Structure 1
């Protein structure tokens, strides 16, 4: 068996610790904030505010880190990671007012999403310098750890209470700081071909105003797909309680979804060699609708589990294909901006999904919320299928 290069192993530790903390903050936001006395609508507002501010600040912070010559990227990531650790420690203080709890948890939501482009840039920057690092394998390690943490933490929180949420965030962020601040590649870099460099092709046509309009229509479609995704993920606890489950079943459902992402990420070079990123984005858009609809029609916990399996053709394909689509369609001078736009679709979808689902849950029911989510995903799929350039 071929051993993974050391940089891949070390970067996998960065991804694994990051996604572990992400799981605790985003997945368990509803459980923690509801236990603190907030309503579903208020929970949605907290998640939306954190995601909205993150969408605004992501390009600002990433741009500052990119322009900084004195401060390494790993240190920028370390600063944000330390902020999350400190805020989590504050949340452990007993007797904290519910409003302060909401503010500090919102700050954690903002910070963990703000950290994502820095974590990705850390690996992509190393690979660009010729460091023998396989980004897909490392990212798959993040998803695998996310899956494990979601199910184990679900049962831990169910038995020990929501105080375990900030305590586990502290533990994972400590690991993240160690992995990130020690991610230093010394000595001359050696270029190691992974096959990925052959997956991308330079754009063959200029980006005319008409093509830019199609690109922004595609972004709108993906944002709506991510809205439906957020309505399920951010409110999985409420979905499970509707079917008689709790945080344990919630964790299991998220674990199933995360595990099904792994084949696509690990085998992406083969997938993208057979189908274009544009065609794969169309497939993902359709399957977001199918997945949300299947969750809506699920008759019980097992039905929700079955719907989560569709993650492999929805979210996993969307995440990978969107990165490659930007690289293929945009000229080099616009790719960083294009990737930032793609990242903002996730943050924007989280904001829309959190607000919409929170209001619907307070006013109606879980099935009504999922029906609206299915309709939103369907509109997103239509926009994606029409706007994407499938030959690219």
Structure 2
């Protein structure tokens, strides 16, 4: 079924209601007190290895220090020396940050910001709905943007467009999905609200597809927050872990697309990482190479962020992520946390992190099936998200009829 103009407007209204429900509770908690944390003060190298009592007093404050932060116990492996301008490795289950380098340094994120785009729009755009793309929806795509090949006057399932976002990093697919969400500016605003609700206060969204734009920044901390949140959404995991898909073309044709995350696919001279889940890579001339990645081993999941390695060429971002994942799994139980990905959820204080909020309960469930193998993921459903999803689904069923299965 095709979404017409009036239907898109109605869908945007319903999406706004859902987004409001999703952000209401944390927004209320932080009303009148929210201020953005100060940028990273510098780029010196320093390791937090002082007395256990002193560093345990406020471990999240370590993430605001410049340089490398780690709290090793006896026998812990040496933290790797990387060339990235900023990086972080955390336990995806507990949110504990195992080590980081300039975690809150604000840098251009490139297409890794598409993780936040997906977190914002996946809950409100049913994947089975079909939509015919207009010429207007493809205007404004930046020169040199990555594209999946979305064409005007062709009809796509929403799930096709998500494949284009995650596998091909298609800015054309992002444009169309944003138009169904109320437009480019509205989508950027909702992404900003979502970031704050998750406790990601370094992020400034100007261009939802990650194309370089004045003032658009994020941080290794924030991107790890987005990656971890994505691991709690079965649809997000299904798309970010998919290596290949078939994308619709003209004249009832189609063509294969392949994920550009080489750590996932093991292509172009990069070896696939054992236990890799995927997530999202990116590149722009302003951001350099960027990556958010996650992997599982022996019942434990890690998430890492690597931003703009300064040595090693185009593949350095994958190899430095590999090094961080290896170190993180080896360091399990041998380091104390230097912070938490939940520390800023709901509130922030001037110049210092807020008290950590309770981590969301995680439940292991089988991922939704499409044309790929079944995977096990962690999935969190809050009461407000469930209410919004039910309301959206009921409206769409009444308006458009049953969705087409993905």
Question: Do both proteins adopt the same fold according to a TM-score greater than 0.5, normalized to the shorter chain?
Answer: no
TM range (shorter): under 0.3
In the superposition, the TM-score normalised over structure 2's length comes to: 0.24
Larger fraction in helix: 1
